Structure 1
Amino acid sequence: MLTAKSSLGTYGLPTPEYFGQADAQGILSLKQRQYVAVTDDIIVQVVVDAETGLFRAKQARELKPSGPLMTRDSEGRYWLALESGDVILPNSSVAQIAELFRRAGGSVTQFSDITVARVLAVTGVDVPVLSDVLARKLPAPFLLEDSVRRFELDQQIQAIARTADERLTRFKSIEDAFEADCDEVTLRMRRFFPELPKTAAQAIWRDTSAAERLHMHNQPGLPRSVAEQALLALRDVRLARACEGIYLDSVSSLDSDLLVLQMIGRLAAWPPTVRVEIRQRVDGDVLSAIGDARSATRHVLIRQQEGYVTQHSGERLPFQVKDLYSVVWGLLLPHQRQLLGISDAPAMRRLIRAQPLPSRQAVSEWLGLGPLPSDVTRATAQHRQAGQLRGGGGGDPESPKSFEDRVRDLYPQLSDEEVSSFVAERLKSNPAGVLTRLEKEFATLRDELAIWNANGASPHAQTSGPEGAPAAAGQRQAREQFSAKLQDIWQRKSVSKWGYGDFHFSYHVDFSDELPTLSARFEYVTELILTVKQPGARIGEFLDSFPGIQYLMVTGVKMEAFPLGIFQMRQLRQLTLGECSLKLSEATAEGLSRIETLNLLNLAKNPLTVAPHVGYMTGLAELMLYDANLSSIPTGIDRLKELQVLALQGNNISDVGNELFEIPDTQDLYVGLFNNPLSSVTRQRINHYLENSSLDRKLEIQTEDVVSDSDSESESSESGFSTGSDSD
């Protein structure tokens, strides 16, 4: 379908030695003229054709270009001349493309070649995807099915609607009706992903296993794999819809406008001194911008309804809503329009439509989307989601944003000074690599939390009852609030100054089921407090993401085994795990004994069974192990010179051993042993120890027969909170 002329005749020129590198579009510029390479030795001068938006060959002496239209070859290295009516399509047979469109519910005969090429580009259907779908007799990718329908609808509306407003209204009305007419499965998925298109939901359902369908039928949430596919589908739909908006006249999309503005700014002849910004309101954030930020002239486009009003260098122009192309064209001076080769706003639209779509990475950046998380594979959804957009390719192309803007996207609360400090200190060795890693980590965090939310409450969790436990909707809302809090914590939205002071995270867990397992690491969080409002929450591997914790207090969150993530907390000072159903094995008790940095250890009201050795915790000041199902006191207590509280009441201890009596009686220490089945021999030894102590004795032991002189100290041991200052 693509035919190259054998010769460009008199349009070809020898390539000068002093030519520089071509830009991203393959354009060579010299003295405000544009050239393209047709071979290594031959170049052709080109200008933008006002009618088609493509580049047309011209001779230097011509006022009106007479040469053929030009396009890049399949490798993007050289340029070819097109015969009239030619258009680039993938290197596949017309029959293959026709079959694919038939499976997508359309027909190539209803579209021009240009429209077919655009549909394929928007949906990312390239030769490998096409071959795989046809060879394996798979359904058409859902993105293709969705876009074919929308392109067809756009054509139908253009034929009957006279005004832009009428086109927009008709398209939206028909689309809303289409999406509303859906089955129960789609409605189920939309409870967690409200924007999921019907075609995507149906494609995901077709690929679910029998076990996944049974899960969706019997349990309130979605299986993890289904939630992952929904997340990937939503991302691909948003990217495809943004690209669709470039070509559809019946659609007005902010995402498309953000993409179009960036494509305008990357035209070879765009004047960099013209600064254009898109905002939602006058004092809102900059959503997209082109041109030099230091330019004295700044044009702010404020979105109103389906168009824009303009604010020029702080002075708002008369209220008149226009589409993006009309506004941008109106900002240019006559000579700037001439350099771009455009005579009016429609010519600018044609010019942009003639450009190749940017890479997937670039579109994602311009829309504020993070990169795909590395642990969410696309392999199982490839035939549905159609892989990359045209030009997306593999790998991770460099972000088009500056380092400063990328830092602001990650940490929106930072001031300009803090952003500069972050770039100078954290990014000095490998700025692109560090930022890419952080962007992927945050993208992964958001997606993991979305999947966790979609998994729903445990089937064993109460949804009603006399105590008024939250219903399923309340559970879902509680999980979403917890997810939002975690994202805020990652972005340091509560930190006033970067890198200074401790970071505190406290939360009342009011949902059942297991806390999320996350790939992100909240290394800057030094204090973590989790309490529960209702039973059923389980800790899982949640603590693995908090290696920098110094103060940890978890109350009521179930953890039948000691969380291994605690062993990674190298600076842990105070550890409280209360009423967590915690049991210690010999191995975990040994691991716990090696946390030598502790000055407070509170494992009260847990069925521990095994008492940890505490002799290595030389700075320990408070040890609370009451109501812990222990039959012996912890070993190593005689080595703890800083110990002030030893709460062992409410256990099954009958014999206290010898170490207790080796502690000097001058040590300021309270020992609680009441409500234990102490043997008569043990009671006699305690009484003898106390009766024969020195006059300056400070050590107190409370049993059922001997009451401590200090009620306040007893109350302190009961509560499990510190009664003295830290030893550090």
Structure 2
Amino acid sequence: MPAINPHQPLLQAQLPHWARQVTPNQWAALKQTQVAPWKRQDWFANAAPDLREAACASQARLMQAQAALANSLKGLQQITEFAEPLLQRRLAEHGFHAQLRNSQLLRVKRSWHWAALRYLSSHRRDNLLQAALQNFASDEVFTAESAIALGDNIHVTPIQIQGAVPVGMQVPVAHFPLQSEHYQVERLPLEPAAFATLCRDLDLGKAYQAHLEQHLAQPATRGLAIRVQKDRLRLAADLAYMRHLLDGSTLDQIERLLRGGTVQCWQLALFGTPLHEVMLIDAGGAGLALYLPGHDPALRQCSNLDAVHDTLATLLLEPDARQAFTAYIRQDQRTHFLDLLQQNLDATGNTAYERPWQRAAQADLRPTRVAITAEPFGHYQDLHLARLKHEASLLAVPTAMADANARARRLDEWENLGLDALNIAAFFIPGAGTLMLAVTACQLLGEAFEGYQAWHEGDRHLALRHLEAVGLNLALIGGFVAAGKVVPKLFNSPLMESLQQVRGSDGRYRLWNEDLTPYRSAVTLPQTLQPNALGQYLYQGRYFIRMDGQLFEQRFDHNLQQWRAIHPDTPDAWQPPLAHNAQGAWRGQHEQPGQWPFAKLARRLGEAYTAFTPEQLAKAGRLCGIDAARLRRVHLEGQPTPPLLLDTLQRMTAQAEVEALADKAPPGLFERFYNGSAPATPATQKLLDAYARLSPALARRLLAPLSEAETFAWQEHSQLPTQVRQLLEQVHSELPLVRALEGVLQPARASSDSERLLFSALDAMPDWPADLRLELHGASPIGPLLEHVGREQAGTLRRVIKSVEGYEVDRGERPAPAPLDPDLCRAIEQALPRPHRDTLGITTADGSSLRQRVLGWVDQHREVLAQRLWGHRALLRKPMGNLRGGRPLDPEPPQPRLASSLAGAYRRLFPDATDWEFENWLGNDEDNLYVDDIRSPTQRLHDLQQRLETLRRDLHEWARPDPQRPHQRHLAIRPILNAWRRLSTITLEGGGRLHSLDLSGLDLDNQALASLALPDDFTHVQHLSLSYNPSLSQLPAEFHERFPNLNRLLLTDCRFDTVPHLGSPEQLAWLDLEGNRITWSTQAQQALDRYPGLSVLDLSGNPLLEAPDLRGLAYLRTLFLNDCALSELPQGLDQMIEPIILDIGDNQLLRLPDGFNVPRPVANALRLESEWLGSPVLAQIEAYNAMHQVDLLVCEGDYLEFFEQTGPAELALWQRLPLQYRRDLRPLLELEPFVSRPRQARAEFWRRLALIDADPALRQQWLTHPPYDLFNLPL
């Protein structure tokens, strides 16, 4: 943990000025209000649990009440805090601009010495603020030596003058020394008399009286103060009862009083001096209850008034108790009261005040009581306000009460007690009684800490310690602490490291502990209330959401364009911004999903997920191929919730309900549980017709987010939003694998897809014995062959028979059937001979070993399985060149994460930031970009947050709906924000990532990009996709200049008619312009030549007519020019080095260039195949192929799947096959058995080719058959 508190500047900025004058003792008193020492007492630990709970609940209620009162008193100022700016401003109006704290009034008094017959000088120096507060009488005059000057410019020199007194007629005059003073002053341009007049006119005392009235006399504030008074008494009663200081009847009396019942109460006085806040309560037959708020104990039972007297007399013998007792006495009465107390209580009458006294034999405190006829708590609050006003008038004297003699007496009394008038004024409100001390502590906490009232008391106490350290160190710097006085060192703590700075509605930053618990709402929603598409509940005009099973109220912040959580009890509390994915996955924007386990990631997707156990969630996630990384993207980037996850969970639930009924379950019950019994709506039925793999339940879920207009467009015109259609295609392609896996894990849900997946997994086992074949037959051993694995020539054959009731191991004992088993995994394990099971590492016969092998295999190959087993296997001629669609190659190892407060704040903006990136941003590396930034890290974080908020507002303004020109700009907001926050990345096969911005498929046009004013915060973006925006034909400079470090630019299926220009073309390595309207020209060639670093170029599907010149692209490795209406090859092919694929197919080439000759790697990468090639060019190609043993028509990469796990023998065999025969073998890769059993198919493929190659007769016979029929030949 860093030694320096990261929030030190904030604490200094938020600490009120008056707190810099608070003394260590006063800080100690403030801190004491935030602890409950009684919790550490044995009597509390040994009390009954219900009593302890009641006391803790009362303490929490009191804390909330004090915090509420503190919050309502925002703007209430201490005297000096109130008066100083007013006086400074008035002086400035008179041309006086010196600092008040350093300016003094030198008041020189000249006294006539009658014996010496001359004047003697003395002085008093007062700070100008203190002088103004004490005010001036109307008849005050100032000597000529009096002045106003800076303290350092007033020099007083004691002098002696000779006095002479005649002693007698014949005796010489007697001389004696007299003490006087000499003054040397550098005056400021303000005369004392003028200052006195100014102060009388300003009348700070009267203004402060109005200030107190304004803040403390309001009915709402008075009610909150009364609530504090009641809650203090309630806690005192709970503790006293627990300590057996009250009996049950007295406790009942107090409870009746607190509920507003009629209970006689009195105000107590000693020596005729009223005791503020002290209360006597009628306890009925038990006598009286004495209430001394702030004391320990604060409440005790006394039989009568004499017992009250004895209790107080005993109490006041102790010096600490006497000191605390003075809080009940008005400031101007304390000295007189303490004098009377010592005379009547101290046995000697002169024992030091700070030492214990011996009780006098006839001690008499002369107690009296006055019955309270009004409501007691309101009465005491009125007395408290009157006391505050009275004591304020002593420190800030109204002009009408100004009296020079009274002022002199007050100042002398305070100074004799070692007090300073300004320090008293600075701590005036909490110092007047006990009521406001804890409230002032809450005010201090509230200045710097958000939501402190919900913290543990230890954290509140520690927070005050931090404020104390800051305040006393500032006081030392400001000269308010005597030199040499020990002050606490500034320090750091885990608490400070756990807090984050948040900006409130007042624009000020405070520290928040990122805890949403206090924001939970107690509102009970109707059970029938359903959430909307965003996961919100609209109830009585208010919006609610659920997170972690708890209800939270929210509101939409139109300024931030975000939803925010609302505190249920404190309307002006910090309202944490909320993030969501528009489908019910809500979280606090401050939360870090990167640290959440899978179960929490899943449950926070919406309320529907909270009913499932972690085991169920993990199982469903594995079935759907959804891991924690995928769900983190949902929460961080706002990606759509994977619909198959909830669908799978609900299917698991339905199956469990069916299994619970066992034999009593009627046929079709699962479908009723899962799909429901309601008939499909027309829109749902249409979707089911279009996507046959969907179930009604899944179709309803996929259509649920559509608006009425979108549903109508689908139903009537078959139009779906782009995102919905993309999601549908994804689900439709993933569904067979998910259902197949479901059948593997839950045999009752097994299907032919499960069988296909299972046998495909068996085929992929590298240790599958060569002499073993396993077959799955329908109905009988000689029934249809449904699936198989292993060579036909294998010596050992095992069969499993499938029937309606389940699976049966064929043991050759028919017609007596073997037992049926619904679990195919178990049937296969039992069918395999024991030696072969051992070879395969299958240690069980219950299906579990095989099941886990299948699951592990699917986990490793999931990205290709769905496409391979159930998808359309078009030859992939356009590899993405080391891209993996943004998903990690493997589960990333956990990275160490710095846990400091600054690191947490940085990751709130950039959740994926590594420790290295954060350290680099901090500027700890001399080579980084921020080393010369003189702003503090906190200031830079604030600036970043402000930039993000500004960007969000600007984007929402840019995306505002336009009825004249409908658009979908709102869909671009989230991707742009994700890119700013460095959340969207493209993962590379070799490791590493590129920061990306994907704006594809959003119907953006030229005007949209031209009006999109992005800040200069996207220099990190290297991958930009604007594909599938069919109206886009330009890249405005204002847009592309925001991305100076682009490495990849994707503009597929747009409307560009030429190659776009970029401001920084040198770094671009990937340019995709497939499917545009580019016709090649000199302008296009010049634009292309500006990208010398291109390694991938795609111009497919453009009507180029003329081939581009590639000679300037020295790094080009991948080229797509297919379907470009080319009649000749591009120049520069012969200069290419180590190309991957050069696809120039589907063109109308007329001939090869004269003297055409390219390096062999180029020839192997070329694809010139096209149905439009004429005989002349085909003859040239075939001649070239024959001469160089290559194939210009087909890229070598098209055959790679044939050559997996092969060697030189297979390559030589391949070369001996006729060229056209080799080409025509490619369709086999899209057919069985290559689709389901590629390993077995590959072995059989080469076995058959070897047989044909080895026998000339077979070669002549079978090479004339269609190559795609190879597996059907009788070989």
TM bucket normalised to smaller:
0.3 to 0.5
- What is the TM-score of this pair, normalised by structure 2? 0.25
Please say which structure displays the higher CA radius of gyration: 2
Larger % of helix: which? Answer: 2
Give the TM-score taking structure 1 as reference length. Answer: 0.41
